[in-house]
Amino acid sequence: MPNNEPAIHTEALTKTYRYTEQQPGLAGAVKGLFRPDRRERTAVDNLQLTVPRGQIIGLLGPNGAGKTTTIKMLCGLLRPTSGELEVLGHRPARRGYEFLSRISVVFGQKSMLWWDVSTYDSLLIHREMYAIPKARFATTTKDLAERLQVQDILNIPVRKLSLGQRMRCELILALLHGPELLFADEPTVGLDVVAKLSVRTFLAELNRDLGTTIVLTSHDMNDVAALCERVAVINHGRTIFDGDLDALRSRADAGVDADLDQVMSKLFTEAADV
């Protein structure tokens, strides 16, 4: 029976960071010890988001908009300050084993692979962590390595890989346990055009062949145009647009062939003026 429950559902999801502002110099540091200057910043503000299973959605926004904070709440790395949040029927912040075995996250700016050992050794550790049977481990590793064309580099220490090679290995690690939902936070950042294309093609196939739901953040509008049937644009933690790329262009009064970077820039500037 098809499961009509959405992959993600949030109601008024909010995250306020509490932090201490540091004054410059030694005097400032000493003052901070006795009279800390406490501040608050709302990074995600009443976010409403429902993502059906099997969709690739782009979570877009300018630097500091709240994309990574949202992803961290959705995968349970951060506890929301308020609001409701359900992912695959679970409350992510509980970090239950069943939930963790059904999702995965990959960060373009942060490595999940062990730096001093080979990718294959990291995969073996994940096999133990997720209790993946040996036969399934072998077939999944082979299939993912072929799709990402990294068969020849799995045994090289990760620190010796190029960024593009490492990113493809990160994806194998993230997908080894067969998650239904993948959070991909800037997976193509810093990659050359060949590596970018390879990651894009891989994500599209993953969604098409396995039905994996993907939440993608990227500042590269070519990634978004190639992959996302829907985009949610956030600014200062609030949704300023939710729809497909055609609707995004019309929202910015741009033609069907309008350059998406210009469309986004117009949208962000308008939002800043409000």
Report the interface residues with ligand ATP, using CB under 6 A: 17, 19, 41, 43, 61, 63-69
* Minimal distance, residue 15 CB to ligand ATP, in Å: 8
* Minimal distance, residue 79 CB to ligand ATP, in Å: 12
Nearest to ligand ATP of 19, 115 (CB atom): 19
Q: How far is CA 167 from CA 147, 204, 207, 236, in A?
A: 13, 16, 18, 29
> Which token pair is 237?
């933690």
3-class secondary-structure state, position 97: helix
* Minimal distance, residue 113 CB to ligand ATP, in Å: 21
Nearest to ligand ATP of 65, 172 (CB atom): 65
d(CA 41, CA 17): 5
Partners of residue 78 on adjacent β-strands? none
Nearest to ligand ATP of 121, 220 (CB atom): 220
Beta-carbon contacts of 31 under 8 Å, excluding residues fewer than 6 positions away, are 23
* Minimal distance, residue 60 CB to ligand ATP, in Å: 9
Q: How far is CA 86 from CA 44, 70, 209, 215, in A?
A: 16, 13, 25, 15
Nearest to ligand ATP of 21, 84 (CB atom): 21
Nearest to ligand ATP of 4, 63 (CB atom): 63
* Minimal distance, residue 1 CB to ligand ATP, in Å: 37
Query: Beta 213-217 vs 56-60: how paired, if at all?
Result: parallel
